[in-house]
Structure 1
Amino acid sequence: MDLMVLAPIGAALALIFALYKGIKISKMEEGTQEVKDIAKKIRIGANAYLRRQYKGVGLFFIAMFILLFVLGCMGYVSIFVPFAFITGGVFSGLSGFIGMKIATLANSRTTTACTKSLNKGLKVAFSSGAVMGFVVVGFGLLDLSIWYYILDWYYRALPVAERVVNITSTMLTFGMGASTMALFARVGGGIFTKAADVGADLVGKVEAGIPEDDPRNPAVIADNVGDNVGDVAGMGADLYESYVGAVLSSCVLAVSAGLSLSGVMIPLVVAATGVIASIIGSFFVKTGEEVSQKKLLSALRRGVYIAAALIVGVSYFIVTGVLGNEYIGIYFSIISGLVAGIGIGFFAEYYTNSSYKPTKHIAESSTTGSATVIITGLSVGMLSTAVPVIIVGISVIVSFILSGGMENFNLGLYGIAISAVGMLSTLGITLATDAYGPVADNAGGIAEMAGLDPEVRKRTDALDSLGNTTAATGKGFAIGSAALTALAFIAAYKDSIELLVQKNNIDFAFNLSLLNPQVLIGLFIGGMATFVFAAFTMNAVGNAASKIVLEVRRQFKEITGLMEGKAEPDYASCVDICTKAAQKELIKVALIGIGTPLVVGLLLGPNGVAGLLAGATTTGFILAVMMANSGGAWDNAKKYIEEGNFGGKGSDSHKAAVVGDTVGDPFKDTAGPAINIIIKLMAMVSIVFGMFILTWHIF
């Protein structure tokens, strides 16, 4: 049997399951007329934002298609590249769009379900997250399958070894389209959501002293819209890119590892198996009425752990069946990545969950003011980088050695790449536990604005607080897999350049010594690029948030009866401000990802680009972990105080914690999660434009 057929079968199962969940959500009770009206405003705002974003992104993709097509006609890239670039972008954007549409259907239904029980609310929100998770893996496998079968047919006359080289090198290029779309979606959505969130909190909570999600706050609808366009649509496009990137990198390295078509088959079949395991695991997610974080977390973990256990069992038969017992080390590399992902997720939870000491320490520091909250939160985030780095380091060396890297270096690199596939194999359910968080957050906002019973808000807050922890866990998965995938891409870049040199008889040989000035300068530029990228995105949030603050203050001052609840604020103006601010910054950040490797390549040559990728991977991984965990810890420290600790809501401690949370918002939801995209995008651009760099670099 040709096991490759499991990839399209897995894609079909994932999409059918997502459709089933989506239909089930749409048939649930939405609630009172007031709940429906609020949800409709959020839906309209989210749709308007995505329409405007996709128009701008569409123009960029058309320009890139023309550029790549011209380069293809000139022989610098494969003629398939421009078309692969488009499909990667379309599927990535479509994943986020569908996830957002379901999330805006599920938010009000989660609110209504929470009027009945916590478990019902969890099930609705989790089902919405499941749609996002299974759409991502379904479209990822579908895109991979379509291109594999098209290219396999096109190159059918070539010998197997040569055919596999052509298939994998061309398939890699659609990852560039996915990364570009993910960058636009994650950064644009992140700027929108955090500008609204920060502006709403600073004026509403800190200055006016009104509750979170109070309907009198003009930025409250923009804040809820942002949860959907940033934390759902943006995250979906982001993790689609991570997923296909991990699979593609291992497919490419299978060739140099000497595994030919069998090595390409392994990551695709493992990914397909992960779909089935995730579907089974999702049926085990349920809880009682106790709102403790420990109980809720165990409910979500149960599903993830069951899915992981299934992968552990089935992967053994996949590897031994396809490659034979002599390659059993590949199986242990898959397990290594899976365990590393769970480990990174666990420690992300430790540093961000209010049940543990780090977040409680941040909450305690609020008693002495906002400055100490920020200092403590930064120190927690910095400290939290140690364990993930150690875990990834152990996973890399274990995967390399067990897969046979000591005897065959390229086989060891394949082992590292396949470990990233193992880490993301259960993405269907892992992403479901992450994507449910913004839905729960929206549900709480709707409950507050609709004036529902306080018990409803208590339940939605419990789900929302859990969502902050699972979001940090999800970001840990994405960042950890990005580090492993980026390492594999560096190896794939070196392989692709050497293949081009050999095929075109070009006079070039790598010198990757740290004493080589080209490599050293590239390292510094790569390290700097991630900080510059983070600075641009943070600054964009700050600028947009300032405009929101001024607009909210203006409305509080000028709209008669607004603070007394006798007049309705102008929600649309805040949505419009956030939308314009997000779109303004997109091209700038895209140019960093696409332009930096090209400029470095032309000035420093392929050696400099290798240094660039190594520097960006190292600093990007650590910076992303620090930002994600600091942001998550600040947010949950604020919620811990709101539960009645250290003075509770409205106290000076609470106001200090809100300031810390507003600093952490762009950390965890804008700059941090987008860094893992930028490091992989730069690697893919380097591979795609390898021939152009070889031809025109000044060295």
Structure 2
Amino acid sequence: MEATIFAPIGAVVALLFAWYLAAKVLKADEGSDKMKKISLAVRRGANAYLKRQYTGVAIFFGVMFIVLLIMAFTGFLTIFVPFAFLTGGFFSGLSGFIGMKIATNANDRTANAAQHSLNSGLHVAFSAGAVMGFVVVGLGLVDISFWYYFLKFWYSDPAHLAAAAGQALEDAQVQAITTAMLTFGMGASSMALFARVGGGIFTKAADVGADLVGKVEAGIPEDDPRNPAVIADNVGDNVGDVAGMGADLYESYVGSIISTAALASAAGLGFSGVSIPMVMAAVGIIASIVGTFFVRTKEGATQKNLLTALRRGTWISALLIAIVSYPLIRFGLGADKTGLYFAILSGLLAGILIGISTEYFTSDTYRPTRDLAADSSGGPATVIIGGLALGMKSTVFPVVIVGVSVLASYFVSGGAADFNHGLYGIGLSAVGMLSTLGITLATDAYGPVADNAGGIAEMSELGEEVRERTDALDSLGNTTAATGKGFAIGSAALTALALIASYMDSVKVRDPSFQFDLGITNPIVLVGLFIGGVLPFLFSAFTMNAVGRAAQSIVNEVRRQFHEITGLMEGKAEPDYETCVDICTRSAQKEMVAPALVGIATPIIVGLILGVNGVVGMLAGATVTGFVMAVMMANAGGAWDNAKKYIESGKLGGKGSSAHKAAVVGDTVGDPFKDTSGPSLNILIKLTSMVSIVFAGLILSHSIF
């Protein structure tokens, strides 16, 4: 029995555990009729958005399927790629849909559980987030396992192989399987782009619009039921930070495994090398399940106690993976390959360190965010300047961490003696970082559930002690969301490096005689670097402007309702929540087209003009700039948000003070930073690599240079 059988077994275990957690969440009490009514409005809004989004995405996938089918018939791709493109997008979208369904069913249950104790609220919210985490890893391995076993069966017939002269049968099979699988990630990448960008535009348009008119102009509290945009805001938390984040990390998860498998082929490690990342993913699922049982806290816990509770689960999972990975490498690849074990450790450690760095710069437990809160006393200008400076400073540690991880992975894997072995080690470090995804994503997806629970507690007028508990869970959610974004960004950087290496390998497979010229003095490479470097700026400009335009529509609508609905401000009339949800939905669908075209069309255009060398330059430039920008935006936005909450807790004047009003402005600026543009850059740097890989044959044949 070959080791890869553990991949489908792990997938089944992950999905069964997700089903168990979902059933447990749904058994919890929803609370009062008012709580149920508010939760139902959020569910309906989220379902309406996803229905419209998936309808639009289905059209895109239909068009791309036809394009890929034509390329397959003309010999640029294997015939399986168009169909695997569809499965990648389908499973990515399905994981986001399931995760969001449970999250929107858990918000009122979390608020109700918080009436009993802080730990009860944490347990319900974390279980809902864990459903998202385990559905992502489970469906990801289902997709990978299906195609691996199908292609292995198909290419077991030598008649289906186009082996090079003198190439062994097993090497030809491994190369054919991994080259085909490498192109499958484009479906997941495309789905992630639409989910992340569209969801990010929706959530931040609602959030910014609600804050600007509700908190700044009208002076009413956050999540006040009189605010017409409050339901749209709660809907946005789910479509952006649950469905969107799930699709984002699904893409990284699948991309790291298949790119490492492809690098195993280049390194001559055969089916044993291909099996390692797949088995590691299965091991990570079991370790993540064990880790979830260690997440608990006590009543009256501080932010530090709550963070420790979530960290405990993640660190125990990482420790278990570190223990099991050694025999996996030792007996799977042989004693002479044990250096690869340390590559896995470097990825695990890098993921933890990036999380710690992000937490330091974004949590109000530490000095950077507290200093930023103090900047609020000088007004909006000083808090915005301080937040930008904090975000820029925060990029240093993640860059150093990823840099050290890449170098360590490369050299401990034997890169000095064999370049391809070193690249395989880098790929394994990305798999190592993402092996804890089940529980890491759970701590991230938990945040929107806690945020919504706080909103329901406010709108349902629950007791003060309940709101204190949900505020504690919400503030923790801001930090875990920022940490999750840091993890997503770091994993995207390592995955993108593995994909660039895989792109170069796929070019050599298609044309063994091709010689790369990647010197910095090559003008084609240099132009590619410049284009890649500016791509994240252009992409971010589109997404930031999209949020601004959509938010202005919400601002106008909320002002209109405050002005025209008699008795609304006095609490004697109900606002029209549905109109705000519809405006956000229509705006998100319209505004996500331009950023999507930038991500998909640029690598094809650059490739057809500058050729393969120019594409490598573009991918390198986009990865470096995109990684740094994503870290800066995510951390600045997270710090602005927690600085506002730090003031709201009674520090520096508390709610309604001039410092609080300035912090609200900073938080409003930070919203599209941390929840739209920053996270979307993760997808951009991976999507450009995936598109480049799929269109490599076309570029080789038809480029100008």
Give the TM-score of the pair, scaled to structure 2: 0.98
Residue 286 (1) aligns with residue 296 (2): yes
* Cα distance in 1 between the residues matched to 2:363 and 2:546: 28
1:526-562 deviation per Cα after TM superposition (whole angstroms, max 9, x unaligned) = 0111110011001100000011111111110111000
Please identify runs of 4+ aligned residues in structure 1 that moved more than 4 A. Answer: none
Residue 301 (1) aligns with residue 311 (2): yes
1:9-62 deviation per Cα after TM superposition (whole angstroms, max 9, x unaligned) = 000000000000001111110000000000000000000000000000000000
1:659-690 deviation per Cα after TM superposition (whole angstroms, max 9, x unaligned) = 00011111011110110111111001111111
CA contact (8 A) 2:171 2:268 kept: no
CA contact (8 A) 2:359 2:479 kept: yes
Q: State how 1:586-597 maps to structure 2 within 5 Å.
A: 586-597=592-603
* Cα distance in 1 between the residues matched to 2:69 and 2:268: 32
- Structure 1 unaligned segments of length 5 or more: list them: none
1:441-472 deviation per Cα after TM superposition (whole angstroms, max 9, x unaligned) = 00000000111111111101101111111111
- Matched with 2:31 is 31
Residue 598 (1) aligns with residue 604 (2): yes
Residue 217 (1) aligns with residue 227 (2): yes
- Matched with 2:385 is 375
Residue 521 (1) aligns with residue 534 (2): no
- Matched with 1:244 is 254
* Cα distance in 2 between the residues matched to 1:372 and 1:343: 30
SS of 1:306 mapped into structure 2: helix
**Cα distance, 1:501 vs structure 2:** 1.1
CA contact (8 A) 1:184 1:586 kept: yes
* Cα distance in 1 between the residues matched to 2:410 and 2:598: 32
Indicate which of 323, 332, 343 corresponds to 1:322: 332
**Cα distance, 1:490 vs structure 2:** 1.0
AA of the residue aligned to 1:198: V
CA contact (8 A) 1:251 1:263 kept: yes
1:99-131 deviation per Cα after TM superposition (whole angstroms, max 9, x unaligned) = 000001100000000000000000000000000
Residue 77 (1) aligns with residue 89 (2): no
AA of the residue aligned to 2:554: I
* Cα distance in 2 between the residues matched to 1:465 and 1:268: 36
SS of 2:298 mapped into structure 1: coil
* Cα distance in 1 between the residues matched to 2:326 and 2:387: 42
Indicate which of 650, 654, 662 corresponds to 1:656: 662
- Matched with 2:403 is 393
Q: State how 1:445-594 maps to structure 2 within 5 Å.
A: 445-502=455-512, 508-594=514-600
CA contact (8 A) 1:129 1:432 kept: yes
CA contact (8 A) 1:91 1:143 kept: yes
- Matched with 1:647 is 653
* Cα distance in 2 between the residues matched to 1:279 and 1:501: 44
AA of the residue aligned to 2:484: G
CA contact (8 A) 1:291 1:459 kept: no
- Matched with 2:58 is 58
- Matched with 2:688 is 682
- Matched with 1:346 is 356
- Matched with 2:116 is 116
* Cα distance in 2 between the residues matched to 1:249 and 1:289: 45
SS of 1:650 mapped into structure 2: coil
Q: State how 1:28-427 maps to structure 2 within 5 Å.
A: 28-158=28-158, 159-427=169-437
**Cα distance, 1:351 vs structure 2:** 0.2
SS of 2:338 mapped into structure 1: helix
**Cα distance, 1:291 vs structure 2:** 3.4
Structure 1 range deviating more: 508-517 or 390-399: 508-517
CA RMSD after TM alignment: 0.7
* Cα distance in 1 between the residues matched to 2:515 and 2:422: 22
* Cα distance in 2 between the residues matched to 1:684 and 1:573: 38
* Cα distance in 1 between the residues matched to 2:255 and 2:268: 21
CA contact (8 A) 2:288 2:314 kept: yes
**Cα distance, 1:260 vs structure 2:** 1.1
CA contact (8 A) 2:351 2:433 kept: yes
CA contact (8 A) 1:556 1:562 kept: yes
CA contact (8 A) 1:609 1:686 kept: yes
* Cα distance in 2 between the residues matched to 1:488 and 1:35: 47
**Cα distance, 1:586 vs structure 2:** 2.3
- Matched with 2:161 is none
CA contact (8 A) 2:134 2:438 kept: yes
* Cα distance in 2 between the residues matched to 1:492 and 1:28: 47
CA contact (8 A) 1:400 1:416 kept: yes
SS of 2:568 mapped into structure 1: coil
AA of the residue aligned to 2:445: A
**Cα distance, 1:357 vs structure 2:** 0.6
**Cα distance, 1:498 vs structure 2:** 1.5
- Structure 2 unaligned segments of length 5 or more: list them: 159-168
* Cα distance in 2 between the residues matched to 1:105 and 1:573: 22
Residue 670 (1) aligns with residue 676 (2): yes
1:376-398 deviation per Cα after TM superposition (whole angstroms, max 9, x unaligned) = 00000000000000000000000
* Cα distance in 2 between the residues matched to 1:490 and 1:432: 29
* Cα distance in 1 between the residues matched to 2:703 and 2:588: 35
Identity within the alignment, %? 68
Structure 1 range deviating more: 429-438 or 584-593: 584-593
* Cα distance in 1 between the residues matched to 2:234 and 2:257: 34
**Cα distance, 1:93 vs structure 2:** 0.4
AA of the residue aligned to 2:440: T
CA contact (8 A) 1:522 1:609 kept: yes
* Cα distance in 2 between the residues matched to 1:305 and 1:483: 22
SS of 1:637 mapped into structure 2: helix
CA contact (8 A) 2:543 2:592 kept: no
Query: How many pairs are equivalent?
Result: 695
SS of 2:592 mapped into structure 1: helix
**Cα distance, 1:592 vs structure 2:** 1.1
AA of the residue aligned to 1:633: A
* Cα distance in 2 between the residues matched to 1:395 and 1:229: 33
Give the TM-score of the pair, scaled to structure 1: 0.99
Indicate which of 630, 633, 647 corresponds to 2:636: 630
AA of the residue aligned to 1:681: L
* Cα distance in 2 between the residues matched to 1:169 and 1:267: 16
SS of 2:224 mapped into structure 1: coil
**Cα distance, 1:509 vs structure 2:** 2.1
* Cα distance in 1 between the residues matched to 2:315 and 2:704: 52
AA of the residue aligned to 2:584: C
* Cα distance in 1 between the residues matched to 2:606 and 2:515: 17
CA contact (8 A) 2:11 2:137 kept: yes
CA contact (8 A) 1:152 1:163 kept: yes
* Cα distance in 2 between the residues matched to 1:157 and 1:404: 34
* Cα distance in 2 between the residues matched to 1:309 and 1:494: 34
**Cα distance, 1:489 vs structure 2:** 1.0
Structure 1 range deviating more: 484-493 or 585-594: 585-594
AA of the residue aligned to 2:633: M
